[in-house]
Amino acid sequence: MPVHTRIGEKAVAIPSLIKLRGHLLDRLNLGAVTELVPSQVVDEVISECGRGEKRLRVLPARITLYFVLALWLCPGAGYGEVLRMLFDQFHQEIGAGLIRVPTGAAAVQARRRLGREPLKALFRRLCGAHADRDAPGMSAFGCQMALLKVAVDGTTLDVPDTVANRTAFGPAPGRSSKDPGRCPQIRVLMLIACGTRSIMDAVWAGRSTGEGTLLRKLVRGGEIRPGMLVLADRYFSGSPQVTAITGAGAHLIIRANPRRRLPVLKALPDGSFLSLLPAANQLTPELIARARAKGIRGHVQRRGVRARQAAGLTIRVIHADIAITPEHGEPRTESYLLITTLLDPKVAPAAQVAALYAERWEAETGYADLKIHLSGPQTVFRSKDPDGVAQEVYALFIVYQIVQVTRATAAREHPRPEPVDPDRVSFTVTLRALVRSIGRAAACGLSAVLNEIWASPQLVRRSRTKTRERKGTLAYARAVQKTPLSRTLYTITIRPADTTEP
């Protein structure tokens, strides 16, 4: 079956200014990573971005790009250590004096010559679900709809506290100007495929840019499209965000504030009901343009309640009570108010929609993979300037995507006769196998990595509670004491629509 991937999908003639072929450096690779991101593809994006070189340097553009990726494969290691690991495959040539390990200063200059554009272009080629819709865990509601499950969510990443970074990304967040935070931050918004946790698309900006603005930018990118089921948290339940997603042709399931009052237009047999989401009470560019066309130059009046309802969106509302019964600790019940554009209860029963919303946590798990297992807890970027930060951001996305692509490949090509869900393949096992392949012989490529992954027992996801506090903190200890980690039983009860409300 064809796999949805963009790696190497476009053959481009490479008008390279220099050629590595035949040179010792042409053999340098990142082990199994090079099989997923071949040198030909790297040369293509470098050429497309105009980053070719007129002379052969100690760190050519291709090697520099691999070096930037290796920085995230070895978080916490200095430039010298990463260069030694990367060039260790030339230990015989180094001993014979045929080649030397570049210095850290040379790596800094090479990174500046490379810039952010080749990393960004390479990331765009890697974006995608990297699995077919009929693969385990990829789609919802069977063959009747087969909607690709994706999640939209945001997070923040720390960058070094320098004048240049503060100017570009804003000051470090804190409680007040007299009590600033530790580092400036950037805000990232990702569209993640729930089945493989791979990145469909990602946008980012300074922390002062809200997720609503980033969502509009994400929609303009075109990756949210018909045939998708977008899962999101309550921040995206507003009319502007819902309209942006549905305007791209996708369906959605979004959690809303449980105290939100939505009118009952029609009660449905499964306990859900049809309702109306009024249009936003804000001045849109369309309203302003319409007013200017009518000759109104001053204040433009906002839309009234009736106009907002007339321009509203018909939605389906599901009020679910989820009883959480842990093996250890006290049981509790949480109330969820879900809004969805899946209006037919026969195709999408309310209980199934409520259970499916839990897939949104695949985005949270993906961010845990990226921020904890890959980059390390509380890791700050290395670069002191915005261009370097941008280069590191795209390199981080690429390395994360490479690991997820390897997980999906291991699940798809697993020797078991029955299909394997990518959720059963460990991110950390895959990451460590890829890192160990760097600098080894050609026989220790992707096939050896897959064998190492298959040798690890397949995970069986346990239904258990998990505190959101950071491990090793006092808050985490208190949370575990209050709610111990244990197997948990979840029971979903759909609350019938209250038709007595006005």
Q: What is the pLDDT of residues 35-82, one digit of tens each?
A: 999 989 999 999 999 988 777 778 889 999 999 999 999 888 899 999
pLDDT of residue 422 exceeding 60? yes
Residue 489, token pair as written in the block: 């039983």
Nearest-10 crossing angle of helices 446-455, 427-436: 140
Q: H or E element: which one contains 211?
A: helix 211-220
pLDDT of residue 4: 39
pLDDT-based confidence at residue 288 (cuts at 50, 70, 90): low
pLDDT of residue 183 exceeding 70? yes
pLDDT, tens only, 101-123: 899 999 999 999 999 999 999 99
User: 376 versus 354: which is more confidently predicted?
Assistant: 354
Give me the torsion for CA of 465, 466, 469, 475, rounded to 10°.
Answer: 50
Q: Is 340 helix (H, G, I), strand (E, B) or coil?
A: strand
pLDDT, tens only, 125-135: 999 999 988 88
pLDDT-based confidence at residue 278 (cuts at 50, 70, 90): confident
Distance CA 334, CA 319 (A): 11
Tell me the backbone φ, ψ of residue 268, rounded to 5 degrees. -110, 155
Could you tell me which residues come within 8 angstroms of residue 472 by beta carbon, excluding any fewer than 6 positions away?
A: none
* Arithmetic mean of pLDDT, 384-402: 96
Give the predicted TM-score (pTM) of the model.
Answer: 0.87
Distance CA 487, CA 489 (A): 7
User: 21 versus 194: which is more confidently predicted?
Assistant: 194
Output the average pLDDT for the chain: 84
Residue 57, token pair as written in the block: 């340097």
Beta bridge partners of 252: 230
pLDDT-based confidence at residue 341 (cuts at 50, 70, 90): very high
Please answer whether residues 64 and 110 qualify as being in contact, where contact means their C-beta atoms are separated by less than 8 angstroms: yes
Q: Is 33 helix (H, G, I), strand (E, B) or coil?
A: helix
With a pLDDT cut of 90, the percent of the chain lying above it is: 52
Q: Which range in 11-15, 96-100, 232-236, 279-283 is most confidently predicted, on average pLDDT? A: 232-236
Residue 470, token pair as written in the block: 């950071």
Tell me the backbone φ, ψ of residue 363, rounded to 5 degrees. -65, -40
CA–CA distance from 238 to each of 202, 244, 282 (Å)?
21, 10, 12
Distance CA 355, CA 436 (A): 38
Residue 67, token pair as written in the block: 């070096």
pLDDT of residue 481: 76
Distance CA 420, CA 406 (A): 14
Residue 340, token pair as written in the block: 């969805």
Sorted by where each starts, the structural domains of the chain and their CATH numbers stand as: 24-124 (no CATH), 127-370 (3.90.350)
